């Protein structure tokens, strides 16, 4: 008897799960300044309110924010299972695995067996972890400016990254992209380093994206605006790793879908001929 295949938590679906939204402008503002600067700005805002509003009303906005924070924190702390469920936490231990390029659900699950029409059934996942190789791409930017992400050229650089991400995720099947996750670095006083971690099925897919028109436009913009015109305060970087099958491990305990575990793959259903 063949060993059982790995059981997926999420079933195959024709529509991909939506990618989590980024922090947006509020997150950019918060992470572009150090804590003393943010406290100073908060004090300035309170001083302006004290000048504009009568004294007995000037503290009301601050009290409202504090009260709301306390109420929500107490509510969530006393209903922790509901809170973690809203965060998308999966209880217990899970692992992120890359599925086979195609599968046939018509045979017995977990073993090779002849299904309908005399064809051999193939599960979406094999019996062992890390049976598929993966390519990991780290792509990021750093704002080496006192204003951080609010400095000159930062918005334009962010627009270029956003255009690349939008096009890549919209054409994920074409490039073999399995997903991406974004982070901010904490190695400086203000968190001015942005990092996106991408996963691809193979190096050929990554190279197709690297030479695609939208990525070339972003690179041409950076070379024109930052290299030739001296915009040295805008830094970019990338690292790529080709990881063969069996040479990696992913493990998540009480975590929402994260990194490779949050990826989404295009897989062909041999029974229907559709890509899921």
Residue 83: Cβ within 10 Å count: 14
Q: Do residues 209 and 75 both lie within one domain?
A: no
Evaluate whether residue 259 is within a structural domain: yes
Q: Mean pLDDT throughout 240-263?
A: 93
Which of 44-58, 61-75, 99-113 shows the lowest mean pLDDT across its residues?
99-113
- Using one digit for the tens of pLDDT, what is the confidence trace for 73-113? 999 999 999 999 999 899 999 999 998 888 777 755 444 44
Q: Give the range of the structural domain holding residue 81, as residue numbers without chain letter.
A: 30-86
Q: How many angstroms separate the CA atoms of 256 and 247, rounded?
A: 24
3-state secondary structure of 140: strand
- Using one digit for the tens of pLDDT, what is the confidence trace for 221-238? 888 888 777 777 888 999
- Using one digit for the tens of pLDDT, what is the confidence trace for 133-191? 999 999 999 888 887 777 888 888 889 989 999 999 889 989 999 999 988 877 666 56
CA angle 265, 269, 274 (to 5 degrees): 90
Q: Do residues 249 and 124 both lie within one domain?
A: yes
Q: How many angstroms separate the CA atoms of 266 and 115, rounded?
A: 23
Q: Do residues 127 and 43 both lie within one domain?
A: no
Q: Do residues 130 and 35 both lie within one domain?
A: no
Q: Looking at residue 223, what is its pLDDT?
A: 85
User: What is this structure's pTM?
Assistant: 0.78
Q: Which residues contact 27 (CB under 8 A, 6 or more apart)?
A: none
Q: Do residues 77 and 207 both lie within one domain?
A: no
Q: Do residues 238 and 189 both lie within one domain?
A: yes
Q: 196 or 107: whose pLDDT is higher?
A: 196
Q: What is the mean pLDDT of the chain?
A: 81
| Structural domain count of the chain | 2
Q: How many angstroms separate the CA atoms of 108 and 181, rounded?
A: 35
Q: Could you give phi then psi for residue 93, rounded to 5 degrees?
A: -100, 130
Domain end, chosen from 45, 62, 86, is at 86
């Amino acid at each position: 008897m063949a060993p059982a295949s790995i059981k997926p938590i999420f079933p195959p679906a024709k529509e991909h799960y939506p990618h989590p939204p980024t922090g947006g402008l509020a997150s950019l503002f918060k992470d572009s300044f150090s804590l003393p600067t943010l406290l100073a700005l908060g004090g300035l805002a309170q001083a302006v309110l004290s000048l504009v509003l009568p004294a007995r009303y000037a503290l009301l906005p601050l009290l409202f924010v504090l009260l709301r924070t306390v109420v929500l924190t107490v509510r969530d702390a006393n209903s922790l299972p509901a809170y973690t469920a809203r965060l998308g936490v999966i209880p217990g231990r899970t692992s992120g695995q890359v599925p086979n390029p195609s599968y046939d659900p018509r045979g017995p699950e977990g073993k090779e067996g002849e299904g309908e029409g005399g064809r051999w059934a193939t599960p979406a996942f094999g019996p062992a972890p890390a049976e598929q190789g993966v390519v990991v791409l780290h792509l990021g930017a750093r704002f080496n400016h006192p204003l951080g992400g609010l400095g000159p050229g930062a918005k334009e650089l962010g627009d270029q990254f956003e255009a690349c991400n939008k096009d890549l995720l919209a054409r994920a099947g074409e490039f073999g992209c399995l997903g991406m996750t974004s982070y901010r670095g904490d190695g400086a006083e203000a968190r001015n380093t942005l990092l996106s971690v991408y996963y691809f099925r193979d190096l050929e897919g990554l190279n197709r994206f690297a030479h695609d028109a939208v990525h070339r436009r972003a690179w041409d913009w950076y070379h024109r605006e930052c290299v030739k015109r001296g915009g040295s305060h805008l830094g970019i970087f990338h690292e790529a790793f080709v990881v063969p099958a069996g040479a990696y491990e992913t493990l998540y305990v009480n975590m929402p879908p994260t990194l490779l575990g949050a990826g989404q793959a295009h897989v062909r259903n041999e029974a229907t001929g559709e890509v899921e």
